[in-house]
Structures are given as C-alpha cells and as structure tokens.
Amino acid sequence: MIKSFNESEDILMIIAEIDGRLIASAQILRSKKMKMRHRGNVAVTVLKEFWNLGIGKKMLLCLEDFAKEWNLSQLELNYFSGNERGQILYEKLGFVKVGEIPEAFILKDGTRYNNITMVKSI
C-alpha cells in the first residue's frame, strides 16, 4: 500500500507499507522562492530486502505525477557515487547527470563518495 502525506504546500511524502511495516518512502520538495518554484527535488529510499520489486520506480512515477499537478517543469535528485542501481533507474526514467561534487560525503570509516546531481524536464 502506498500512502501520501501533505506536510505543507511545498512538500509531499509518500510511503509504502506491507502489513503495517514501512518499507519505502519518497518525497518531493518544491522551493518557496518564486523564481525556483518550477523545480522539485525528489528523494526515494527502499529497504534493501524490497529491492528489485519496482517500488522505487513506482514511487518516483507517483512523485512525477504530483509534480505535474504542481505545474513543475523540472525534477532534480542527488545520490552517492557508487549507487549504480539508482543511477540505472534514474536514467531509465529520463534523468540526466548534470553535475558531480567530489568527496561530498565522508563516512566514519573514511570512505568518500561524490554527490551526483541529475535533472529531468517534465
């Protein structure tokens, strides 16, 4: 079951549950600044045991439908380098890489990851 929650005029969160257990969440955030209100930033998280079931894809498509209701013309997302599974999904859905920030994330063990930004026109 996928549920949605409107936290404000500019944020929508959807969740996926199985038997009352939260297995995935996604959100879209629209800027409050008028000159940037055509843009929406999206993020999706799915528990590992539920990968390969199309849940992340379905959630992104739901967010895109909602973005169209908001009259957004651009979706944006960020992810860690090394997340090839995410990259493949985002590219299949029409997102294009537009930038990369080196070593944007440093984990406790010292592992460093780049931040990759992708955009999709809708």
Instruction: Decide if pLDDT at 36 tops 70.
Output: yes
| Short-list 85, 115, 80, CA closest to 99 | 115
pTM, rounded to two decimals: 0.88
Dihedral-angle region of residue 96 (phi above 0 means left; psi in -120 to 50 means alpha; beta otherwise): beta
Q: pLDDT tens digit string along 54-98?
A: 999 999 999 999 999 999 999 999 999 999 999 999 999 999 999
Domains annotated on the chain, with CATH: 2-121 (3.40.630.30)
Reported as a pLDDT band with limits 50, 70 and 90, residue 4 is low
In our burial notation (b when 16+ CB lie closer than 10 A, e otherwise), range 38-50 reads ebbbbbbebeeee
Neighbours of 4 (CB within 10 A): 13
Beta-strand relationship, 74-80 and 11-18? unpaired
